[in-house]
């Protein structure tokens, strides 16, 4: 806080009086189009957001960057995404503009507001880097629950989307994440991210009366479409009318609401006419859109919970709340959605909870999401970069239910929050020079609808745009520029390039200068830089076994027992849980979810034996090929051989996109009984046998995986204590 502002606060409020600076809450949706909520024309029921709009402001020209990572970089730093080193996604090039974490020459909203005395809270999807140095807690959030990467699943935790509580990995990939705040409720991202946001708000209020900043980055409604049945039921059947009917309805409502002017026609349908589809396709698409609507409906219900919480705390009036989406509706998954031919209404049970790129609504419905605009997520036409926007702050401004047509962007949140918090935007932070803010404060627009001309820029994957006053020059990757007059034609239908050469050239040079300034690479340059960076890195030893041991230790394939080489070495890493290791016995206590203990031993061909006792609780076993769980960064999928007392079974599971059981065998598993697990991984085949304490074989399992490269070997326990002993690992010949 600036000293002047502190003094003013002190004079105005007097010592001991309530803090006058507002709480700041940013609610961020993921892959949601311009017309997907009620107060922006949608038929999807969003009464909570509509109420916020009715008591606040709606911005009709609010822009994002068109895609997940860059939008997150931009909203948090107040810079263009390239300046925050996230010009593309999280690919490391070693060059400015394109790194695998946020720039250290940028400060986050949390870092700035934290220095002004705000409590800083984040829940949800970070998607700005897996590394510790770039994590939410490293970048200013004092409280965090969520993922460091993407999410792509609602009911389960899939590979590379581990859930962290602050810096602690609390949920590795699993089909059954634990809802630790509400053990009787199912773990569902939109719900639990809200649960934790409320939990943290209560926690900070127990500490003191200082305002808080909450950044709640939901993954809804990003695919895959995982909805709760009671939410889906509200919409199922409604969408059989087809996309054209709903595009027209939304357009008319947007005009009626005053969000759009009739001068901007509805862009033409960009997908096949609904009537050309078969009845089965129509039914399938109705179901998928009902799922999408249900995911947004649930998002809105949870936003209601946040509002209720603020109300109960008596702090809703003086909370500056902003709702935005990170990019428009997506056509990334094809015309009819992912696997339209395979994942059907009939076999919903088989794909309805499967994470990854398993289900989506497809381009047809994305064309509805982005009404009235053209194009989609990733692109810089209005359909990709326009977000519905709501600002609610009863104490901050008089306006209720009004529209604002000022041209605004994610980069504007930083200067707005600096202004309302009295924070100093630093020139230096942690010893680094910090780039100046790029945005403009929204504060004047809280008071007046007067618009002011401004210039904004975009670039993503070769898609590019510049908006200067009422003019916009925009192009798709590898395509020529198009020129539009936005006041007359925001739907971008009349390309005016031909008759306005001077303006065209001026805008093009403006964009070129900006691209030079922020370090834009063409897609080809980006690919080449990423490749060069990859090749410049020390290569992992491809020979087998690839063992992470002190450099002086040499292990050759087929050299027999190698576990003793590292038995006492300090090479073990935990991914959750307090493990102890004494005299070759590895123990983990407690009952707090999945815990993993890794050897640092990375092998392709090996055999392993270990004795395992479940002291109390459900399941434990051996992991291999789970580098991501151990390191939190890599993308190797994993296998798991485990015994499960709760379900009385022995299983071989695999985590790729979502955890799946490869094979399970029934067996009576007793607590405090010692079992012997024997496992061989050789030439892409896995064979396991399990014996009871009398030496009787009680299960035999096997699997084959041609893509298996090597596995980081570890021990794993879920839901209870476990003890491992007599661990023996042999490196086998290739
Ligand atoms: Ca997104």
From ligand 1's centre to the CA of 222, what distance in Å? 7
Q: Measured between alpha carbons, how far is residue 298 from residues 225, 227, 304, 305 in Å?
A: 12, 8, 10, 11
The per-residue pLDDT for 368 is: 98
What confidence category does residue 18 fall into, taking pLDDT thresholds of 50, 70 and 90?
very low
In whole angstroms, give the CA distance from residue 161 to residue 637.
12
From ligand 1's centre to the CA of 326, what distance in Å? 5
Overall average pLDDT of the 130-153 stretch: 95
Overall average pLDDT of the 13-28 stretch: 73
The per-residue pLDDT for 541 is: 42
In whole angstroms, give the CA distance from residue 357 to residue 656.
12
From ligand 1's centre to the CA of 32, what distance in Å? 8
Task: Examine the pLDDT at 222 and tell me if it is beyond 70.
Answer: yes
The per-residue pLDDT for 631 is: 39
Which neighbouring-strand residues pair with 730?
561, 607
Please, what is the end-to-end C-alpha distance for the chain in angstroms? 63
What confidence category does residue 3 fall into, taking pLDDT thresholds of 50, 70 and 90?
very low
The per-residue pLDDT for 593 is: 65
Q: Are strands 23-29 and 212-217 parallel, antiparallel or unpaired?
A: parallel
In whole angstroms, give the CA distance from residue 382 to residue 647.
52
Which of the listed ranges 13-22, 349-358, 604-613 does the model predict with the highest average pLDDT? 604-613
Q: Are strands 606-616 and 619-624 parallel, antiparallel or unpaired?
A: unpaired
In whole angstroms, give the CA distance from residue 732 to residue 637.
22
pLDDT tens sequence across 71-118: 999 999 999 999 999 999 888 899 999 999 999 999 999 999 999 999
From ligand 1's centre to the CA of 549, what distance in Å? 40
Task: Examine the pLDDT at 335 and tell me if it is beyond 80.
Answer: yes
In whole angstroms, give the CA distance from residue 506 to residue 485.
15
Overall average pLDDT of the 574-582 stretch: 74
The per-residue pLDDT for 657 is: 44
Considering 68, 119, 681, 730, which one is annotated as catalytic? 68
From ligand 1's centre to the CA of 88, what distance in Å? 13
Considering 82, 88, 119, 127, which one is annotated as catalytic? 127
From ligand 1's centre to the CA of 718, what distance in Å? 32
Query: What is the share, in percent, of the chain residues with pLDDT greater than 90?
Result: 66
From ligand 1's centre to the CA of 328, what distance in Å? 8
From ligand 1's centre to the CA of 364, what distance in Å? 18
Full-model pTM? 0.76
- Backbone torsion region of residue 490, taken as left when φ is above 0, otherwise alpha when ψ lies between -120 and 50, otherwise beta: alpha
The per-residue pLDDT for 219 is: 98
From ligand 1's centre to the CA of 56, what distance in Å? 25
Q: Measured between alpha carbons, how far is residue 677 from residues 121, 671, 731 in Å?
A: 43, 15, 17
What confidence category does residue 11 fall into, taking pLDDT thresholds of 50, 70 and 90?
very low
From ligand 1's centre to the CA of 90, what distance in Å? 14
Rg (CA), the chain: 27
For residue 278, say if its preceding peptide bond is cis, omega within 30 degrees of 0.
no
Burial (CB count within 10 angstroms: exposed 0-12, middle 13-18, buried 19+), residue 335: middle
In whole angstroms, give the CA distance from residue 134 to residue 110.
13
Told to judge if 199 belongs to the known catalytic residues of this protein, a careful annotator would answer no
From ligand 1's centre to the CA of 190, what distance in Å? 15
Transcribe 141-200 into DSSP letters: -SEEEEESS----SSSB-TT--EEETTEEEE-SBSS---SSSTTS---HHHHHHHHHHHH
From ligand 1's centre to the CA of 232, what distance in Å? 22
pLDDT tens sequence across 223-273: 999 999 999 999 999 999 999 999 999 999 999 999 999 999 999 999 999
From ligand 1's centre to the CA of 368, what distance in Å? 17
pLDDT tens sequence across 386-405: 999 999 999 999 999 999 99
Q: Which residue has the higher pLDDT, 539 or 317?
A: 317
In whole angstroms, give the CA distance from residue 612 to residue 607.
16
Chain length of the chain: 734
From ligand 1's centre to the CA of 67, what distance in Å? 5
Among 465, 468, 412, which residue's Cα sits nearest to residue 440? 412
Give the SS3 label for residue 595.
Answer: strand
From ligand 1's centre to the CA of 675, what distance in Å? 46
Q: Which residues surround ligand 1, an ion (CB under 5 A)?
A: 30-31, 68, 326-327
From ligand 1's centre to the CA of 327, what distance in Å? 5
CB neighbour burial string for 187-216, b if at least 16 within 10 angstroms, e if fewer: bbbbbbbbbbbbbbbeebeeeeeebbbbbb
From ligand 1's centre to the CA of 539, what distance in Å? 33
Told to judge if 68 belongs to the known catalytic residues of this protein, a careful annotator would answer yes
274-283, 423-432, 645-654, range with the lowest pLDDT = 645-654
Overall average pLDDT of the 553-574 stretch: 58
From ligand 1's centre to the CA of 107, what distance in Å? 22
For residue 545, say if its preceding peptide bond is cis, omega within 30 degrees of 0.
yes
Q: What are phi and psi of 621, to 5 degrees?
A: 175, -155
Contact 328, 40 (CB under 8 A): no
From ligand 1's centre to the CA of 257, what distance in Å? 26
Overall average pLDDT of the 436-446 stretch: 98
The per-residue pLDDT for 259 is: 97
In whole angstroms, give the CA distance from residue 93 to residue 95.
5
Task: Examine the pLDDT at 673 and tell me if it is beyond 50.
Answer: yes
Give the containing element (helix H, strand E) for 61: strand 57-63
Give the SS3 label for residue 645.
Answer: coil
What dihedral do alpha carbons 225, 231, 237, 242 form, nearest 10°? -50
From ligand 1's centre to the CA of 89, what distance in Å? 11
From ligand 1's centre to the CA of 31, what distance in Å? 4
Domains in the chain: ranges and CATH: 3-448 (3.40.720.10), 546-731 (2.60.120.560)
């Amino acid at each position: 806080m600036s000293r002047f502002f502190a003094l003013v606060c002190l004079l105005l409020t007097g010592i001991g009086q309530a803090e006058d600076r507002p709480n700041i809450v940013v609610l961020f949706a993921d892959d949601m189009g311009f017309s997907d909520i009620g107060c922006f024309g949608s038929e999807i029921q969003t009464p909570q957001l509509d109420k916020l709009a009715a008591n606040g402001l709606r911005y009709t020209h609010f822009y994002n960057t068109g895609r997940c990572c860059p939008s997150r970089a931009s909203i948090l730093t107040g810079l263009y995404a390239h300046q925050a080193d996230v010009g593309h996604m999280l690919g490391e090039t070693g060059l400015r503009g394109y790194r695998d974490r946020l720039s250290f020459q940028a400060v986050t909203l949390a870092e700035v507001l934290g220095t002004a005395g705000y409590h800083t809270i984040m829940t949800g999807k970070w998607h700005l880097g897996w590394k510790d140095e770039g994590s939410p807690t490293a970048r200013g959030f004092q409280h965090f629950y969520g993922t460091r990467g993407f999410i792509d699943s609602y009911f389960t935790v899939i590979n590379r989307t581990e859930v962290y509580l602050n810096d602690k990995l609390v949920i590795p990939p699993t089909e059954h994440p634990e809802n630790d705040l509400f053990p009787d409720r199912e773990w569902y991202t939109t719900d639990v991210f809200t649960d934790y946001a409320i939990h943290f708000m209560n926690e900070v209020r127990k500490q003191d009366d200082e305002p808080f900043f909450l950044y709640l980055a939901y993954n809804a409604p990003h695919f895959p479409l995982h909805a709760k049945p009671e939410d889906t039921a509200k919409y199922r059947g409604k969408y059989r009318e087809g996309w054209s009917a709903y595009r027209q309805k939304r357009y008319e409502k947007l005009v009626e609401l005053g969000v759009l002017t009739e001068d901007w026609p509805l862009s033409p349908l960009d997908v096949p006419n609904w009537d050309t589809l078969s009845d089965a396709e129509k039914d399938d698409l109705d179901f998928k859109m009902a799922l999408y609507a249900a995911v947004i409906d649930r998002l809105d219900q949870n936003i209601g919970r946040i509002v209720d919480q603020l109300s109960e705390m008596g702090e809703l009036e003086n909370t500056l709340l902003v709702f935005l989406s990170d990019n428009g509706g997506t056509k990334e998954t094809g015309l009819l959605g992912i696997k339209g031919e395979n994942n059907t209404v009939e076999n919903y049970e088989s794909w309805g909870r499967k994470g990854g790129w398993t289900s989506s609504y497809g381009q047809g419905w994305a064309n509805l999401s982005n009404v009235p605009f053209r194009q989609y997520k990733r692109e810089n036409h209005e359909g990709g970069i326009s977000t519905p926007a709501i600002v609610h702050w009863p104490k901050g401004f008089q306006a209720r239910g009004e529209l604002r047509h000022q041209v605004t962007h994610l980069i504007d949140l930083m200067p707005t929050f600096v202004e309302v918090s009295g924070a100093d935007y630093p020139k230096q932070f942690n010893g680094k020079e910090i780039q100046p803010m790029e945005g403009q404060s929204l504060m004047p627009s809280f008071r007046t609808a007067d618009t002011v001309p401004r210039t904004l820029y975009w670039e993503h994957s070769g898609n590019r745009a510049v908006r200067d006053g009422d003019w916009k020059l925009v192009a798709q990757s590898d395509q020529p520029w198009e020129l539009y007059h936005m006041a007359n034609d925001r739907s971008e239908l009349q390309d005016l390039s031909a008759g306005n050469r001077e303006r065209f050239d001026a805008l093009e040079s403006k964009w070129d200068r900006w691209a030079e300034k922020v370090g834009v690479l063409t897609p080809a340059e980006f690919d080449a830089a990423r490749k060069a960076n990859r090749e410049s890195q020390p290569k992992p030893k491809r020979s087998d076994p690839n063992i992470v041991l002190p450099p002086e230790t040499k292990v050759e394939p087929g050299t027999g027992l190698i576990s003793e080489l590292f038995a006492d070495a300090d090479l073990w890493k935990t991914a959750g849980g307090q493990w102890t290791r004494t005299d070759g016995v590895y123990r983990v206590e407690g009952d707090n979810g999945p815990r993993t203990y890794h050897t640092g031993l990375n092998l392709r061909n090996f055999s392993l034996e270990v004795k395992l006792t479940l002291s109390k609780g459900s399941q434990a076993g051996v992991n291999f090929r789970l580098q991501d769980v151990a390191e939190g960064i890599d993308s190797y999928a994993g296998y798991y051989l485990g015994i499960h007392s709760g379900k009385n079974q022995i299983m071989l599971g695999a985590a790729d996109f979502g955890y799946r059981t490869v094979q399970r065998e029934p067996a009576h598993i007793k607590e405090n009984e010692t079992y012997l697990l024997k496992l061989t991984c050789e030439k892409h085949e896995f064979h396991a046998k399990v014996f009871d304490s009398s030496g009787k074989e009680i299960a035999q399992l096997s699997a084959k995986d041609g893509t298996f490269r090597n596995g980081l070997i570890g021990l794993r326990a879920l839901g209870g204590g476990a003890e491992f002993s007599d661990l023996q690992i042999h490196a086998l010949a290739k």
